[in-house]
Structure 1
């Protein structure tokens, strides 16, 4: 229902240092949360398609991003 988008620059930093502690190693990185807890992340490029990868994450299916 809610979407919060935080962008980082090429050095993987935000003006407010919101990236600290998130272990962002590649961009783009999409981190998905449910009730304040990370439920998955999409890193740099899709394993299948962007849509299928996001659906797997938000529906609770097992998912490993490209660097796991």
Structure 2
């Protein structure tokens, strides 16, 4: 029973990957372009910097408000 369901899942995933519309281009399924390395770096810095910096900005706001 478990073997048959895992075989079905493997076929479904392989079929999806093989027939997906991007043609196997690396980064073809991403919602942003990866051609410009400087723009990509700026996106990464803003995305991860906002998440890592948010607690510190919130703490500063609370301390100044106090």
TM-score, normalisation: structure 1:
0.25
Higher strand share: 1
Larger gyration radius, structure 1 or structure 2:
2
Give the structure, 1 or 2, with the largest relative contact order (CA under 8 Å, sep 6 or more): 1
Higher helix share: 2
TM-score, normalisation: structure 2:
0.26
